Amino acid sequence: MSAAATGRDGAAATRRDWVVHPARAPLAGTLAVPGDKSVSHRALMLAALAEGTSTLEGFLEGEDTCATARILQQLGVRVETPEPGMRVVYGAGLHGLRASAAPLDCGNAGTGMRLLAGLLSGQRFDSVLTGDDSLSRRPMGRVIEPLAAMGARIDSRQGLPPLFIHGDQSLRGTRLRTAVASAQVKSAILLAGLYAEGETEVTEPQPTRDYTERMLEAFGWPVRYGPGWAKLDGGHALRARTVRVPADFSSAAFFIVAASLVPGSELRLRGVGLNPRRTGLLEVLRAMGADIRLHSRREEGGEPVADLRVRHAPLHGIEVPLRHVPDMIDEFPVLFVAAALATGRTVVRGAAELRVKESDRIAVMARALAELGVPIEETAEGAVIEGGGELRGGCVDSRGDHRCAMSLAVAALRAAQPVRVSDCANVATSFPGFETQARAAGMVVETAA
């Protein structure tokens, strides 16, 4: 995909603003948020490498995941879309991918690029991974270095995309300790490990999401793992299967916080993925006083799932426990909003990873909330937020970051006047149809060019 984002109607757009009005009534209703982006990426990749035909249900129709699907098609994998939210993938087998004459465009998908770097390191052919302007500024050295320790050859622009991946390398199983707590880095290593001779073992400074480990297990590859470590041997095969992708907790998070903040609200969210390495925000919001109940616990696609009922409750500030930080790294922008409207002080530490996401999320959220009148002190690895005051209306800039845009839309619900959130087109990368869902819950969201 090019640097231009795609609007809700599918037309190319370089910019899209929202005007979000303060809530005049409680939020209410039952929502089904889109499928989990991380699970969708991984299910596509493993289905492409599997033997046989896999069906993916609940697949996220976002720009990031669709970019990964297009790349796999460039590599010779047949991927069909019988209906929205479904993919049928005709697996090529572990060694059945074919070289692409053109670069492989990841668009804005950091997950896609990092995981594909590991997968493509084990192929017999050369590959080039590119991305849009935002992705081209995101660090890839954290993936390149451990893969190089396994024998991969990847050239880059001083650790930034594009990535030039040399094929026909002999990968070797290695014991690696990652420098950062990143499920994407761990996953890239494990995907390369499928092609390595011997055992690949990864340990992390802090436990991260185990989506790849669970998905490998579901596709029949022997893998051993626990909090903060995983290991596997090369030389096995993946077997096709049907995967039901759970609803994305990160997408649900915006409505969890919105219902918590607007008096009288009650929202139900169906089939939300509750991977224990993903739900740090749930624990933190409960510690702040949120009223969140889980119903109909079950398992789908190897992932724990439940229906959520969220009711408004007064929140109070806390010091966010460091143990929860890796498990909520994508949810910090909306946590900043919850903190801004909670009573008292909230302190966030240990979240430096936020500075190398689609934007510098600490800086973007600190600047935007300050524009709305929130006393917030930006720190190197987080922020100190003095909550409880009234938010004013005005204009804030999401800097093209989908999670910041949706978080600021939630903040507008408790503002004194409407809030214009600029540069929202990239919301389609992770949550196509956010505006429709928001309106169904009772939010007043207008679009503006």
pLDDT at position 10, please? 34
Q: Which residue's entry shows tokens 């903190």?
A: 339
Q: What is the CATH number of domain 5-35+246-448?
A: 3.65.10.10
pTM of the model as a whole: 0.86
pLDDT in tens, 65-116: 999 999 999 999 999 999 999 999 999 999 999 999 999 999 999 999 999 9
Q: What is the pLDDT of residue 181?
A: 86
Give the residues of the chain that fall short of pLDDT 50: 1-13
Query: Tokens 């922008």 identify what position?
Result: 333
Domain boundaries, the chain: 5-35+246-448, 37-244
Residue 64 annotated as catalytic: no
Q: Identify whether 162 is preceded by a cis peptide bond (ω within 30 of 0).
A: yes
Three-class secondary structure of residue 241 per DSSP: coil
**Chain position carrying tokens 């190089």:** 148
To the question of domain 37-244 being in CATH 3.90.1640.10, the answer is: no
- Supply the pLDDT for residue 154: 98
Q: Where are the alpha helices (DSSP H) in 177-218?
A: 183-193, 211-218
DSSP strand pairing (17-20 vs 86-90): unpaired
Note whether 271 and 307 are within 8 A (CB): yes
Task: Note the pLDDT of residue 301.
Answer: 66
Matching fold, domains 5-35+246-448 and 37-244? yes
pLDDT, tens only, 37-73: 999 999 999 999 999 999 999 999 999 999 999 999 9
Element spanning 267, H or E: strand 266-273
Measured between its terminal Cα atoms, the distance across the chain in Å is 21
Hey, what amino acid is at 318? I
β-sheet bridge partners, residue 166: 153
Q: Which residues pair with 292 in a beta bridge?
A: 310
pLDDT of 14: 61
Considering the candidates 17, 64, 132, 330, report the single residue annotated as catalytic. Answer: 330
* Cα–Cα nearest to 240, from 222, 218, 224: 218
What pLDDT does residue 204 have?
95
d(CA 330, CA 257): 14
